């Protein structure tokens, strides 16, 4: 129990510090500087984390890299650099980070029924429901900040879709870790693992958001 509380405290401390710095950079820095941060994270993943999944001499290292993680990061940077879609990126971050937080907290506290034990043994159905609730709350907070119209049911559905994509991204990375026989992608973030461990959900969700960005902007009432 003590070890569990220690790990939870370490994870939450890192989340508060790293997450706070991330949000500060996104909200306060010029988009060009934030894009530089995203680029730095991508190169950190490629150099220090991707090489743990696959040897650099293996063809799969080079075949998968352009699609995952390079392409999703490129889409994040494109959205960040566009004044038109910058707020959409804020919505994406708010939902996915809230979803991850809720899944972890609720899963630790009351999680009993395993979601995908062969891929990610710690994930539970209870945690998933908690993730959805936190994701909806995250979208509500972003909506308040951005002045998005209420459309409560529509926003609930959207948050669930993004949360589900985030879950799939998490499971995909967990599957890759299983293949590589590693626990975490890296150790840059105490209690969380590596940067890819924290961005895995974002990387799946951003492809959907980018592909349907105009429809989502209209649906959420972000055209202003």
Q: Residues 159-205: pLDDT tens digits?
A: 999 999 999 999 999 999 999 999 889 888 876 788 999 999 999 99
| Residue of higher predicted confidence among 163 and 4 | 163
Split into its structural domains, the chain has a count of 1
Running DSSP on this structure, what letter comes out for residue 45?
A: I
Q: What is the pTM of this model?
A: 0.92
What does the pLDDT read at residue 221?
86
Average the pLDDT over 22-35 and give the result.
Answer: 93
The boundaries of the domain holding residue 69 are 2-220
Average the pLDDT over 17-43 and give the result.
Answer: 92
What CA–CA distance (Å, rounded) separates 144 from 148?
7
CB 119 within 8 A of CB 178: yes
The answer to which of 104-118, 124-138, 148-162, 178-192 has the lowest mean pLDDT is 178-192
CB 52 within 8 A of CB 46: no
Classified as helix, coil or strand, 41 is helix
Per-residue pLDDT band for 31 (boundaries 50, 70, 90) equals very high
- DSSP class per residue in 69-118: IIHHHHHHHHHHH-TTTHHHHHHHHHHHHHHHHHHHHHHHHH--SEEETT
Classified as helix, coil or strand, 13 is helix
The number of helix segments (H) and strand segments (E) in the chain equals: 10, 2
| Residue of higher predicted confidence among 18 and 109 | 109
Phi, psi of 122, rounded to the nearest 5 degrees = -85, -10
Per-residue pLDDT band for 1 (boundaries 50, 70, 90) equals low
The answer to which of 8-12, 108-112, 175-179 has the lowest mean pLDDT is 8-12
CB 7 within 8 A of CB 191: yes
What's the gap between Cα 172 and its chain centre?
A: 13
What the block records as the tokens of 119 is 């891929």
What does the pLDDT read at residue 222?
84
pLDDT at 152 over 90: no
């Amino acid at each position: 129990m003590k070890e569990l509380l220690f790990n939870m405290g370490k994870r939450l401390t890192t989340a508060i510090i790293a997450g706070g710095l991330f949000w500060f950079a996104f909200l306060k820095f010029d988009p060009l500087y934030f894009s530089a941060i995203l680029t730095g994270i991508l190169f950190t993943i490629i150099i220090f984390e991707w090489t743990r999944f696959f040897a650099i001499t293996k063809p799969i290292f080079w075949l998968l890299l352009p699609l995952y993680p390079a392409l999703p990061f490129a889409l994040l940077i494109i959205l960040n650099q566009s004044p038109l879609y910058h707020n959409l990126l804020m919505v994406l971050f708010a939902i996915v980070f809230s979803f991850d937080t809720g899944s972890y907290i609720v899963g630790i506290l009351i999680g009993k029924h395993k979601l995908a034990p062969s891929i990610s043994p710690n994930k539970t159905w209870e945690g998933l429901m908690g993730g959805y609730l936190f994701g909806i709350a995250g979208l509500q907070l972003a909506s308040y900040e951005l002045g998005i119209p209420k459309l409560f049911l529509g926003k609930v559905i959207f948050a669930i879709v993004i949360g589900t994509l985030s879950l799939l991204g998490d499971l995909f990375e967990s599957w890759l870790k299983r293949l590589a026989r590693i626990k975490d992608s890296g150790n840059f973030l105490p209690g969380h693992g590596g940067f890819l461990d924290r961005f895995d959900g974002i990387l799946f969700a951003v492809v959907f958001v980018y592909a349907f960005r105009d429809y989502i902007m209209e649906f959420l009432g972000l055209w202003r």
